[in-house]
Amino acid sequence: MVSLANWFLDTKNAFDTVCGRANDLFHPTIRLGVTGLSQAGKTVFITALVHNLLESSRLPLFTAARQGRIRRIAIDQQPDATIPRFDYETSIDALCNDRQWPQSTSNLSQLKISFYFDPQKTINKVFNRKKFTLELIDYPGEWLLDLPLLDKSFQYFSKKAIAVARTFDQVPEAADFLATIHAINVHDHIDERTVKHLTLTYLNYIRAQRASEQSTTLFAPGRFLMAGDYEGAPALTFCPLPNLNDKIKPNTLAGLMQSRFEAYKKHIVQPFFQNYIATLDRQIILIDALTAINGGGKSTTLLRENLAEILSCFKIGRKSWLNQLFNHRISRILVAATKADQIHHSSQDRLQRLTSQLIESTTNRAQLDPKSLAGLAIAAIRTTREATGKNNDVPFIIGTPMAGEELDGNYFDGNTEAAIFPGDLPDNLQEALDASRSGNLKFIRFRPPNGLREKPLPHIRLDRAIDFLIGDYLQ
Ligand code: GDP
């Protein structure tokens, strides 16, 4: 049955959509989601993107800029008073003034940018379409991993999550969590101290696993990994329990945990998908494939699993959750392997091919239309320059490794430049993993380069990414 509140919301959404579409005819607005797991490079990507757009920097592969048809680009007023603004100014100061990486994404934020341009297409000239607005929405990819929970019961979630924990029972935190939940009677009456203690042992376990890059993010609620505004909220104070019956009594520990699990889905997960994900027109998913390759087989399996989960959120087929809930379609998705400046340009095309292979191996499951899905290797900020060895045989990259980075037993201090041979990246994932295992591939983290204040921010293929994501709106 349709409730009055839902009916009102649907009608209002439909009205907003009709008004929005009419307005879009003359002045289109698109919402671009920027996501990826923690440390994938979202903050740096948005900062570099906005800076390059505002400063009209070198963007030869961004067609409208190359053709000289962009008159002006400006940051607009924040469109939504309830969403934090992406802190572009602080991020750019950290990069350019302090030579530090900015604070990473830990919550949802937004930035609105307007483009004023000379149209090229007849239809745009006829309608005098000279302005286009881009809303950038930055959010943690961890939150997307909650989609599969939406139609699951607490019993199902518990069974799956405990089965995953058992596969890690040699890890102290996992063993502690399993021992703790098996030592209690879940059908006992509620004791808030027990609830908190159980949740804490669960959190300790999934955060320890996450830090060691093991595959537990599946069936671990996304906000447990990245809480956003909800740290410590009751809807985040629950954990999977063993020995559950089909019907759970309300005044028991199991009953309380079940009601919080349902509250988590209803008040946190569903609104996030409804209010943000379902309103996106375009999406970029950033992946740190090089770190995953260096991390070995488990890390790359995790990367593939997470990418498949994330991509499946945008599967707008007839049976998808999103399609049933909200009638909206994302028309373009770009999966970008970040930090391509950590390898020599002779390996960058191979990183791109590896990215395409990753997408192909996951899209079978996600059933996306390949024409609207692309893979790219990019560096939002290029931290290295290139050189070859004396005999022109070894392709080096030169940059300032971050303090604490290690190579062949030497530790870097964060101030000294070094010429590094990261190895030749094979274009096959298995070979890349083998090369990494045998020490022939080693990717180092670098500091932002010197002198960013004086010159355009250097990048690799950032312009191609922009062109794929929004180029068609500037024709
Ligand atoms: P987020 O968690 O997705 O917001 O990730 P960030 O954008 O904060 O990036 C995490 C870290 O990755 C940064 O602190 C840098 O160390 C590194 N990083 C991000 N982008 C680049 C890039 O373009 N080149 C290089 N070399 N490192 C990058």
User: What CATH number did the domain enclosing 124 receive?
Assistant: 3.40.50.300
By 3-state DSSP, what share of the chain in percent is helix, strand and coil, each rounded to 5? 45, 15, 40
For helices 42-54 and 462-470, give the axis angle rounded to 10 degrees. Answer: 80
CA distances from 77 to 112, 211, 275, 402 (A): 7, 38, 20, 36
Residue with tokens 């809930």: 325
Å from CA of 98 to ligand 1 middle: 15
- Can you read off the two tokens belonging to residue 441? 């591939």
User: 59 and 190 share a domain?
Assistant: no
Identify the pLDDT of residue 214: 53
Closest CA to 444 of 467, 418, 473: 418
Closest atom of ligand 1 relative to the 399 alpha carbon: 26
Strand partners, 126: none
User: 81 and 172 share a domain?
Assistant: no
The total number of structural domains that make up the chain? 2
- Residue closest via CA to ligand 1's atom 13 equals 101
Q: In whole angstroms, what separates CA 440 from the centre of its chain?
A: 29
Residue with tokens 């004396």: 390
332-337 and 373-377 strand pairing: parallel
Residue type, position 50, single letter: V
How far is the C-alpha of 11 from the C-alpha of 428, rounded, in Å? 50
- Predicted TM-score (pTM) of the model is 0.89
- The pLDDT profile of the chain, 475 residues, written as one tens digit per residue, is 334 344 444 444 544 554 455 566 678 999 999 999 889 999 999 999 999 999 977 899 999 999 999 999 999 998 888 899 999 999 999 999 999 999 999 899 999 999 999 999 898 888 888 999 999 999 999 899 888 888 889 999 999 899 888 888 788 999 999 999 999 999 998 888 999 999 999 999 988 887 765 554 556 788 988 878 887 788 889 999 999 999 999 999 999 999 999 999 999 999 999 899 988 999 999 999 999 998 888 788 878 888 888 888 885 444 445 555 555 578 899 999 999 999 999 999 999 999 988 888 887 644 455 568 889 999 999 999 998 877 777 889 999 999 999 988 889 999 999 999 999 999 888 899 999 988 889 999 999 999 888 888 999 999 999 999 999 999 9
123 exposure class (CB count in 10 Å sphere: 0-12, 13-18, 19+): exposed
Q: In whole angstroms, what separates CA 155 from the centre of its chain?
A: 29
Specify if 394 maps to a domain: no
DSSP string over 64-93: HHHTT-EEEEEEPPPS-TTSPBP-HHHHHH
How far is the C-alpha of 369 from the C-alpha of 470, rounded, in Å? 18
Å from CA of 184 to ligand 1 middle: 43
**CB neighbours (10 Å) of residue 58?**
16
Residues in Cβ contact with 159 at an 8 Å cutoff, skipping those fewer than 6 apart? 240, 244
Å from CA of 187 to ligand 1 middle: 46
CB 397 within 8 A of CB 384: yes
User: 307 and 243 share a domain?
Assistant: no
- Residue closest via CA to ligand 1's atom 17 equals 41
How far is the C-alpha of 322 from the C-alpha of 273, rounded, in Å? 8
416 exposure class (CB count in 10 Å sphere: 0-12, 13-18, 19+): exposed
Å from CA of 46 to ligand 1 middle: 11
Residues in Cβ contact with 318 at an 8 Å cutoff, skipping those fewer than 6 apart? none
User: 302 and 324 share a domain?
Assistant: yes
User: 104 and 123 share a domain?
Assistant: yes
How far is the C-alpha of 397 from the C-alpha of 405, rounded, in Å? 15
Its domain, for residue 156, covers: 147-271
How far is the C-alpha of 463 from the C-alpha of 243, rounded, in Å? 54
Pocket perturbation via mutation, ligand 1, pick of 339, 398, 452 by most ligand atoms within 8 A of CB: 339
User: 15 and 84 share a domain?
Assistant: yes
Specify if 246 maps to a domain: yes
Closest atom of ligand 1 relative to the 378 alpha carbon: 23
Å from CA of 342 to ligand 1 middle: 11
User: 325 and 459 share a domain?
Assistant: yes
- Which residue, of 237, 271, 305, is where some domain finishes? 271
Return the SS3 of 457: coil
Closest atom of ligand 1 relative to the 38 alpha carbon: 2
User: 19 and 134 share a domain?
Assistant: yes
Specify if 391 maps to a domain: no
- Residue closest via CA to ligand 1's atom 18 equals 41
* Ligand 1 pocket, residues with Cβ under 6 angstroms: 36, 38-44, 101, 104-105, 338-339, 341-342, 379-381, 383, 445-446
Residue type, position 397, single letter: I
Closest atom of ligand 1 relative to the 384 alpha carbon: 26
Specify if 52 maps to a domain: yes
- Which residue, of 249, 271, 293, is where some domain finishes? 271
- Which residue, of 236, 271, 306, is where some domain finishes? 271
Å from CA of 371 to ligand 1 middle: 28
How far is the C-alpha of 87 from the C-alpha of 108, rounded, in Å? 11
- Residue closest via CA to ligand 1's atom 11 equals 39
Å from CA of 381 to ligand 1 middle: 9
Closest CA to 264 of 143, 110, 177, 106: 143
Å from CA of 39 to ligand 1 middle: 6
